[in-house]
C-alpha cells in the first residue's frame, strides 16, 4: 500500500484504521470501538478497553521470549557510565519499584512527579507508575524550583521521585535543594519522596519523608500490572503556553499505546529488536514518546544518553554512540546538529566511525534550517527527515512516511500529514486557504488517538487555548502553508511561545518574572534569531519613573531572576533598558516589529503605531547587545 492509500483509509474509515492498529497492543479487554465522540468537542479513543502501558512496554516482550534483549542502553559520556538493561531486568526492577510505591499507598489515579536526569531509573519510575495506573508527571531538570512548585500545585502528587543530582558540563546540579525549595513553596505537600542517590553528589534525606530508592524496595512484594481504562491518563506533561502557568497536557493510555506503536515501523522504520535513539531528555515530549514509551512498546532497544552533542567530550559523540550501539534510526533536534557543525564544519570527526548501521536521521522540535539538513545529509550519508509535532499530539503530525514509502524530500518542509491528521490552513476568519497561502495551521477535529483529550483539571482552558479560535478545528499555534501536493511549510508561532535549542518556552512567562522586579515598570520579552539555538529571548525593561538603580544592576538582577524562577533552560542572558516600549494606539506591544528590527529584517510600519520614534530607540538598544545590525 502507498502512503496515499493508507492516509486516505485513515480519513475515510478512522474506526477501521485505528481498530486495526489497536490489534498490535495487548488488551486486557478489547475496546468495543475506537472513537468516543459522545462528549464532543472532548474526544476520546478506546475508552472502554482495559489495558496497561507497562505490560505492553515490558512484560509482554519478556513473555514473548525477548527477555534477554537489551531494553535500555545507558550511555553517559558526562559521567563515564555505561550499562545495559535487558527486558527481563527491566521487568524485575520496575515491578519492584512499583511494589514499593504501592506499599506506600500509591495506586491507580494518584499522581507522582518525577524529577530526574538522563538515567535509566527515570524510565523505570515512569514505567512503575504506569504499572500501577498512577499518573506521572516528569519535570525537566533544567527548570528552577519555582517551576517545579507550580507543577506540584497543579498535579497534587502523592509522591515525588527524584535523583540526588544531575550533571551538566562543568557542574553538578544538586536536585535536593531545588526539590525542598519547591515543596516549601507549593501549597500542596506530597506524602513522601523517593531519592536515587548518585555518586556525583549524595543528598541528605529527611527521615520519614525521603526514602532511598534502593532501601525502600527491600522486602516488598513486586507489583503486577493494573489494567486501566483506555481513556485513563498515563501521564501529564506540562508545556509552555502564553502565560506563566504551564498547560498540563493529558496523555490517554489506549490511544498513546496504539499510535506510538504504529509510528515505530511506519514512520521511524524500525523493527522489534532494532536499536532506536532519540537524543533528547525525558523531561520533554520527545523523551516521553521516543526515549521511553514508543521504542519499548514496539520491542526496540532504546538509548538513554546523558551528554551533549558537543563537549562530552567532543563533536564526535553522536557518531560514537550510533556506531557503538548499532543505532538504526536516530532522532534529535536541529540545534544539536548546528552545534556539531559549528565545532566540526567539515565533518572530519565522523570519518573515525562506521555509521553504516544507520538508516535515517529524524529532526524535530524546532524549524530545521536547510543548511543544517544539507550538512547532515552530506556528512552522514543517510536521508534526513524533518518532522513536525508538539507536546499536545505526542507523535508526528507531519513527516515523511519513510517506513511505508519514502516521499521525495522538499527541504524546508517536514513533508505530509500522518494518518489520522487532517491538516488545513485557515485565514483569520476561519476560511480555508488555497495551496501556497500563509495562514494558521489547524487540524480538523477529532484529533487522532494518543493526542491530548484535554488539559489536566482545565477543560475550559483546553477549549479556550485550542478549540475556540477556529470552531471545529484544533489550533496548533503555528502558522504556515500547504503546497499543491500537500507538503506543509511551518513558518512561525502565532502566540508568545519561542523555541530555544528545541525547548519550548513562554515569553509571557518570562515577562511575568521580570515584571515582579521592584524597579521594572513595564517589560517585554521577544525571541530573536540565533545561529545556534534557533531563537534566544531578549528582555526590554522600562524602569519606574525616578528609579535610581543603575541599568546594569537591573539587567543583572533580571537575568538572575529568570534563571532562579524559570531555570537555566530559559537561556535568558540578554536584556536592555529602554525608555518606552513601541505600542499600537490601543496599547498592544509591537513584539513582531521588535523581532524584525532585532533580526535585521524588513518590516512594514504598523499603521496603528502610537509613536514610530520608539522603534529607533529599540534599534539603538538592541545594537548595544549585538543585534539590529544595519
Ligand atoms: N538540568 C540542569 N540544567 C540544564 C539541563 C538539565 N537537564 N539542561 C540544560 N541545562 C542548562 C544548561 O547547562 C545551560 O546552562 P548555562 O546557562 O549555565 O550554560 C542552560 O540550561 C541552557 O541549556 P541548553 O539550551 O540545552 O543549551 P546547552 O548550553 O546545554 O547546549 C546545545 C545545548 C546548544 C548543545 C544544543 O544543541 C542541544 O543539544 N540542546 C538540547 C536539544 C534537545 O534535546 N531538545 C529537546 C527537544 S528534541
Ligand atoms: P514542543 O511542544 O516542545 O514539542 O514544541 C512544539 C513546537 O515546536 C511546534 O508547535 C512548533 O512551533 C515547533 N516545532 C516542532 N517541530 C518543528 C518542525 N519540524 N519545524 C518547525 N517547527 C517545529
DSSP line for 380-431: H-S-EEE-B--TTTSS-SEE--TTT-PPPP-TT--BEEPTT--EEEE-TTSP
Cα 460 to averaged position of ligand 1 atoms, centre (Å): 33
Average predicted confidence (pLDDT) for the chain: 97
Contact between 410 and 373 (Cβ < 8 Å): no
Q: Which CATH superfamily is domain 501-623 in?
A: ANL, C-terminal domain (3.30.300.30)
**What integer pLDDT is reported at residue 215 of this predicted model?**
98
- Mutate which of 200, 294, 317, 335 for ligand 1? The one with the most ligand atoms within 8 Å of its CB, which is 335
* Helix and strand counts by DSSP (H, E) for the chain: 19, 32
The span from the CA of 575 to the CA of 524, in Å, is 10
> Among 257, 251, 202, which Cα is nearest to 51's?
257
Query: What is the rounded average pLDDT of the residues 72-90?
Result: 98
Q: State the helix-helix crossing angle for 175-185 and 145-155, rounded to 10 degrees.
A: 50
- Mutate which of 282, 366, 384 for ligand 2? The one with the most ligand atoms within 8 Å of its CB, which is 366
The span from the CA of 56 to the CA of 39, in Å, is 28
> Among 528, 605, 618, 620, which Cα is nearest to 574's?
528
Cα 304 to averaged position of ligand 2 atoms, centre (Å): 22
What atom of ligand 1 comes closest to residue 279's alpha carbon? 44
- Mutate which of 241, 280, 390 for ligand 2? The one with the most ligand atoms within 8 Å of its CB, which is 390
**What integer pLDDT is reported at residue 107 of this predicted model?**
98
Query: What is the rounded average pLDDT of the residues 287-307?
Result: 98
| 381 burial level (CB within 10 Å; 0-12, 13-18, 19+) | exposed
Query: What is the rounded average pLDDT of the residues 149-169?
Result: 98
**What integer pLDDT is reported at residue 204 of this predicted model?**
98
Quick one: which ligand is closest to 537's CA? Answer: 1
Q: How many CB atoms lie within 10 A of CB 178?
A: 24
**What integer pLDDT is reported at residue 452 of this predicted model?**
98
Cα 181 to averaged position of ligand 2 atoms, centre (Å): 31
pLDDT in tens, 28-80: 999 999 999 999 999 999 999 999 999 999 999 999 999 999 999 999 999 99
Contact between 113 and 136 (Cβ < 8 Å): yes
pLDDT in tens, 218-259: 999 999 999 999 999 999 999 988 777 899 999 999 999 999
Ligand 2 shell residues, CB under 6 Å: 239, 285, 364-368, 386-388, 390-391, 414, 476-478, 490, 493, 499, 504
CATH 3.30.300.30 in the chain: give the residue spans.
501-623
Say if strands 159-163 and 135-138 run parallel, antiparallel, or are unpaired: unpaired
The span from the CA of 566 to the CA of 205, in Å, is 25
Q: How far is CA 421 from CA 57, 467, 500, in A?
A: 25, 16, 27
Global pTM reads 0.97
What atom of ligand 1 comes closest to residue 567's alpha carbon? 21
What atom of ligand 2 comes closest to residue 503's alpha carbon? 3
**What integer pLDDT is reported at residue 82 of this predicted model?**
98
Cα 596 to averaged position of ligand 1 atoms, centre (Å): 26
Quick one: which ligand is closest to 394's CA? Answer: 2
The span from the CA of 541 to the CA of 551, in Å, is 9
Cα 371 to averaged position of ligand 1 atoms, centre (Å): 22
**What integer pLDDT is reported at residue 62 of this predicted model?**
98
List, in sequence order, every beta strand (DSSP E) within 427-533.
439-444, 473-482, 488-493, 497-500, 503-506, 520-530
Percent pLDDT > 90 in the chain is 97
Cα 280 to averaged position of ligand 1 atoms, centre (Å): 10
Q: How many CB atoms lie within 10 A of CB 243?
A: 14
Query: What is the rounded average pLDDT of the residues 199-213?
Result: 98
Grid cell of 431 as nine digits:
476560511
The span from the CA of 410 to the CA of 148, in Å, is 40
The residue nearest atom 1 of ligand 2, judged by CA position, is 390
**What integer pLDDT is reported at residue 276 of this predicted model?**
98
Cα 504 to averaged position of ligand 2 atoms, centre (Å): 8
Contact between 120 and 51 (Cβ < 8 Å): no
**What integer pLDDT is reported at residue 244 of this predicted model?**
78
Cα 527 to averaged position of ligand 2 atoms, centre (Å): 15
The span from the CA of 255 to the CA of 22, in Å, is 8
The single residue listed with the C-alpha cell 499505546 is 257
What atom of ligand 1 comes closest to residue 568's alpha carbon? 21
* Alpha helices for 85-243 (secondary structure H): 87-103, 120-132, 145-155, 175-185
Cα 187 to averaged position of ligand 1 atoms, centre (Å): 30
**What integer pLDDT is reported at residue 629 of this predicted model?**
82
The span from the CA of 129 to the CA of 123, in Å, is 10
Q: By mean pLDDT, which of 317-326, 384-393, 603-612 is the weakest?
A: 603-612
The span from the CA of 179 to the CA of 29, in Å, is 39
Contact between 569 and 140 (Cβ < 8 Å): yes
The span from the CA of 105 to the CA of 160, in Å, is 13
Quick one: which ligand is closest to 489's CA? Answer: 2
- Mutate which of 163, 290, 501 for ligand 1? The one with the most ligand atoms within 8 Å of its CB, which is 501
The span from the CA of 234 to the CA of 328, in Å, is 28
pLDDT in tens, 449-501: 999 999 999 999 999 999 999 999 999 999 999 999 999 999 999 998 999 99
**What integer pLDDT is reported at residue 242 of this predicted model?**
78
CATH 3.40.50.980 in the chain: give the residue spans.
87-226
What atom of ligand 2 comes closest to residue 414's alpha carbon? 19
> Among 533, 612, 601, 536, which Cα is nearest to 575's?
536
Q: Is residue 630 pLDDT above 80, yes or no? A: no
CATH architecture of 87-226: 3-Layer(aba) Sandwich (3.40)
**Those residues with Cβ within 8 angstroms of residue 408's Cβ, 6 or more apart along the chain or in another chain:** none
Q: Is residue 401 pLDDT above 90, yes or no? A: yes
DSSP conformational letter for 215: G
Grid cell of 108 as nine digits:
491507580
Ligand 1 shell residues, CB under 6 Å: 117, 141-142, 166, 168, 173, 280-281, 284, 286, 308-310, 333, 335-336, 339, 365, 500-503, 532-533, 568-569, 571
Amino acid at each position: 500500500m502507498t502512503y496515499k492509500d493508507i492516509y486516505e483509509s485513515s480519513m475515510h474509515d478512522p474506526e477501521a484504521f485505528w481498530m486495526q492498529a489497536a490489534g498490535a497492543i495487548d488488551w486486557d479487554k478489547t475496546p468495543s470501538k475506537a472513537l468516543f465522540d459522545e462528549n464532543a468537542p472532548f474526544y476520546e479513543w478506546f475508552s472502554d478497553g482495559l489495558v496497561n502501558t507497562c505490560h505492553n512496554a515490558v512484560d509482554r516482550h519478556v513473555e514473548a521470549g525477548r527477555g534477554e534483549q537489551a531494553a535500555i542502553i545507558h550511555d553517559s559520556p558526562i559521567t563515564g557510565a555505561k550499562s545495559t538493561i535487558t527486558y527481563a531486568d527491566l521487568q524485575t526492577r520496575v515491578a519492584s519499584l512499583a511494589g514499593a510505591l504501592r506499599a506506600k499507598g500509591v495506586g491507580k489515579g494518584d499522581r507522582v512527579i518525577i524529577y530526574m536526569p538522563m538515567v535509566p531509573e527515570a524510565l523505570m519510575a515512569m514505567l512503575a507508575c504506569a504499572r500501577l495506573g498512577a499518573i506521572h508527571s516528569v519535570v525537566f531538570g533544567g527548570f528552577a524550583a519555582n517551576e517545579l512548585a507550580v507543577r506540584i500545585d497543579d498535579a497534587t502528587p502523592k509522591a515525588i521521585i527524584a535523583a540526588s543530582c544531575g550533571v551538566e558540563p562543568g557542574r553538578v546540579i544538586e536536585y535536593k535543594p531545588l526539590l525542598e525549595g519547591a515543596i516549601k513553596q507549593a501549597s500542596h505537600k506530597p506524602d513522601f519522596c523517593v531519592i536515587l542517590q548518585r555518586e556525583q553528589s549524595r543528598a541528605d534525606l529527611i527521615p520519614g519523608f525521603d526514602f532511598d530508592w534502593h532501601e525502600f524496595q527491600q522486602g516488598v512484594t513486586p507489583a503486577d500490572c493494573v489494567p486501566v481504562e483506555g481513556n485513563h491518563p498515563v501521564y501529564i506533561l506540562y508545556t509552555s503556553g502564553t502565560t506563566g502557568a504551564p498547560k498540563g497536557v493529558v496523555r490517554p493510555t489506549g490511544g498513546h499505546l496504539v499510535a506510538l506503536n504504529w509510528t515505530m515501523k511506519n514512520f521511524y522504520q524500525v523493527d522489534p529488536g532494532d536499536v532506536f535513539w532519540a537524543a533528547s531528555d525525558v523531561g520533554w515530549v520527545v523523551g516521553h514518546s521516543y526515549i521511553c514509551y514508543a521504542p519499548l512498546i514496539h520491542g526496540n532497544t532504546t538509548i538513554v544518553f546523558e551528554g551533549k552533542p558537543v563537549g562530552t567530550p567532543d563533536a564526535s559523540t553522536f557518531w560514537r554512540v550510533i556506531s557503538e550501539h548499532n543505532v538504526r534510526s536516530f532522532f534529535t533536534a536541529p540545534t544539536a546538529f548546528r552545534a556539531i557543525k559549528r565545532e566540526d564544519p567539515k565533518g572530519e570527526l565522523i570519518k573515525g566511525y562506521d555509521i553504516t548501521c544507520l538508516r535515517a536521521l529524524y529532526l524535530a522540535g524546532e524549524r530545521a534550517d536547510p543548511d543544517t539538513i544539507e550538512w547532515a545529509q552530506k556528512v552522514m550519508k543517510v536521508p534526513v527527515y524533518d518532522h513536525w509535532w508538539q507536546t499536545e499530539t505526542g507523535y508526528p503530525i507531519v513527516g515523511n512516511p519513510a517506513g511505508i514509502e519514502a516521499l521525495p524530500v522538499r527541504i524546508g518542509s517536514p513533508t505530509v500529514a500522518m494518518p489520522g491528521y487532517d491538516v488545513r490552513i485557515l485565514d483569520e476568519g476561519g476560511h480555508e486557504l488555497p495551496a501556497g497561502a500563509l495562514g494558521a495551521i489547524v487540524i480538523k477535529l477529532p484529533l487522532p488517538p494518543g493526542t491530548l483529550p484535554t488539559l489536566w483539571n482545565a477543560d475550559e482552558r483546553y477549549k479556550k487555548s485550542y478549540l475556540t479560535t477556529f470552531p471545529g478545528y484544533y489550533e496548533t499555534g503555528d502558522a504556515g502553508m500547504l503546497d499543491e501536493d500537500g507538503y506543509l511549510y511551518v513558518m512561525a508561532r502565532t502566540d508568545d511561545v519561542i523555541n530555544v535549542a528545541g525547548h519550548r518556552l513562554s515569553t509571557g512567562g518570562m515577562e511575568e518574572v521580570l515584571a515582579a522586579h521592584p524597579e521594572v515598570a513595564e517589560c517585554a520579552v521577544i525571541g530573536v534569531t540565533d545561529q545556534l539555538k534557533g531563537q534566544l529571548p531578549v528582555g526590554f525593561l522600562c524602569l519606574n519613573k525616578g528609579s535610581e538603580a543603575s541599568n546594569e544592576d537591573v539587567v543583572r538582577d533580571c537575568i538572575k531572576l529568570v534563571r532562579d524562577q524559570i531555570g537555566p533552560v530559559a537561556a535568558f542572558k540578554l536584556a536592555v533598558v529602554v525608555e518606552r516600549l513601541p505600542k499600537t494606539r490601543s496599547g498592544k506591544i509591537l513584539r513582531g516589529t521588535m523581532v524584525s528590527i532585532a533580526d535585521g529584517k524588513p518590516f512594514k510600519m504598523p499603521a496603528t503605531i502610537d509613536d514610530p520614534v520608539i522603534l529607533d530607540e529599540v534599534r539603538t538598544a538592541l545594537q548595544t547587545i549585538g543585534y539590529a545590525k544595519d
